[in-house]
Amino acid sequence: MATLSAFSSPSWPDPNPNSNFLSQPDHTSNDLSPPMLQETAENEDDGPPYNPQTTLIQNPNPSFLDRPAILAPTLLHVAFNQDYGCFATGTDQGFRIYNCDPFREIFRRDFENGGVGTVEMLFRCNILALTGGGPDPQYPLNKVMIWDDHQSRCIGELSFRSEVRGVRLRRDRIVVVLEQKIFVYNFSDLKLLHQIETIANPKGLCAVSQGAASLVLVCPGLQKGQVRVEHYASKRTKFIMAHDSRIACFALTHDGHLLATASTKGTLVRIFNTFDGSLLQEVRRGADRAEIYSLAFSSSAQWLAVSSDKGTVHVFGLKFNLGNLGSDKLHGVSDPNRAVSSPSSSLSFMKGVLPKYFSSEWSVAQFRLLEGPQYIVAFGHQKNTVVILGLDGSFYRCQFDPVIGGEMTQLEYHNFLKPEEAF
């Protein structure tokens, strides 16, 4: 049974990323009166609203403490926002929002009891998507709560018959990922627009483009190693057999033109053209099996960063002609105006004779971390910088030389969970 709810008073907000809630920290409202349920629905499937009714419901938000927690919390979730300028964390006590450059904690919401397992930002606006998490979840695991930080409360929810595995936001869409299904909703009225069946997807893998021109959505297909690409503007669906093993991680460029994928084997990363599914480039993370934690394109799509359980972040150079993207035909073409690309093995002249490993393209730059914690990576707003976040509370900013490559230089380190580093 699925239920969709939009709470009243005031009207549903316009999720415009230009509305910067980070510069408008008015969180003093104590208005916790029960909101009005505008729409509720039942369906035999997991999702769409049907036969809307009107009724009163209780406030879904127990009171929260708008102050720093006394003890360092347990980190449940960490994720960048859409432009990598901020990141959000979910903890067993609530959630926190941080700025990347300069690094600082912007604010936190600590609940009296209950953890937050997912915090999905929408650029820097006041709207967040939350799910419960940890040993004492703040919200049911089968619900997505739409939080308006101007009101310091939830203004809507999406409920499902199974646990929510992931949430993605655009200014015009809310995408909810379940174990074997994905739902795409219109942001303005929470109307269900699309349902997608997937193979088992316990990690909640899904990526959406953020360019205003068109929406591209990528998710696992129905076969092992397959990804599905939805081009909503052209109403086209493309299936790509990306790997022989199961998909472990993928990432889209901002405009949705490029897709990077990694499998559970974790040795190779492949970059595809999403329009025709053609393979543009293949790079090698290493020779040993690894778990890929995150992939990230630079804003110019000149670089690709990869983090894994080996405790190393790699940066690869991309070497195809971006001017041809969007056409039905695209081939890897070197661009003399681009910086150094990923180096190949010195035995690449024997390609076709020796195993493929010896002709592989390797990373331009690397940064060594402690093995064990899970890290995610993104490119910083400063030129040739990488930001790394760890589930141990670590924040690194590093810089790489685009010509010489090699080991990156650490510019900054913080532990964002330490109480003494609170704002």
Q: Which amino acid belongs to residue 28?
A: T
Q: Are 131 and 118 in contact (CB under 8 A)?
A: yes
Cis bond upstream, residue 10 (ω within 30)? yes
| 3-state secondary structure labels for all residues of 289-328 | CCCEEEEEECCCCCEEEEEECCCEEEEEECCCCHHHCCCC
Give pTM, 2 decimals: 0.79
What is the pLDDT at residue 13? 57
Query: Residues 155-172: pLDDT tens digits?
Result: 889 999 999 999 999 999
What is the pLDDT at residue 198? 96
CA dist 278 and 360 (Å) reads 19
C-alpha to C-alpha distances, 205 to 169, 281, 354, 362, 396, nearest whole angstrom: 14, 22, 35, 26, 25
Question: At residue 261, does pLDDT exceed 60?
Answer: yes
Q: How far apart are the first and last CA of the chain?
A: 43
Between 55-69, 99-113, 116-130, the lowest mean confidence (pLDDT) is in 55-69
SS3 assignment, position 215:
coil
User: In the predicted model, what is the mean pLDDT of residues 73-97?
Assistant: 93
Q: Which of 151, 85, 147, 156 is nearest to 119 (CA)?
A: 147
Fold (CATH) for 73-159: Thrombin, subunit H (2.40.10)
Tokens 């938000």 label which residue?
A: 61
Domain residue ranges of the chain, discontinuous segments joined by +: 73-159
What is the pLDDT at residue 366? 93
CA dist 166 and 141 (Å) reads 11
What is the pLDDT at residue 289? 83
Question: At residue 216, does pLDDT exceed 70?
Answer: yes
Query: Residues 180-212: pLDDT tens digits?
Result: 999 999 988 899 999 999 999 999 999 999 988
Strands 94-100 and 75-80: unpaired
What is the pLDDT at residue 18? 52
Between 102-111, 280-289, 320-329, the lowest mean confidence (pLDDT) is in 320-329
Residue 57 CB neighbours (<10 A):
14
What is the pLDDT at residue 389? 96
CA dist 264 and 243 (Å) reads 9
CA dist 140 and 155 (Å) reads 16
How high is the mean pLDDT of the chain?
Answer: 79
Q: Are 288 and 267 in contact (CB under 8 A)?
A: yes
Tokens 């483009």 label which residue?
A: 209
Query: Residues 358-400: pLDDT tens digits?
Result: 456 888 899 999 877 899 999 999 999 999 999 999 999 999 9
Question: At residue 231, does pLDDT exceed 90?
Answer: yes
Q: How confident is the model at residue 15 (pLDDT cuts 50, 70, 90)?
A: low
Instruction: Quote the Cα angle for 20-377-324, to 5°.
Output: 85
Q: How confident is the model at residue 287 (pLDDT cuts 50, 70, 90)?
A: confident
CA dist 91 and 278 (Å) reads 40
CA dist 390 and 399 (Å) reads 17
What is the pLDDT at residue 273? 95
State both tokens at 188.
Answer: 């303005």
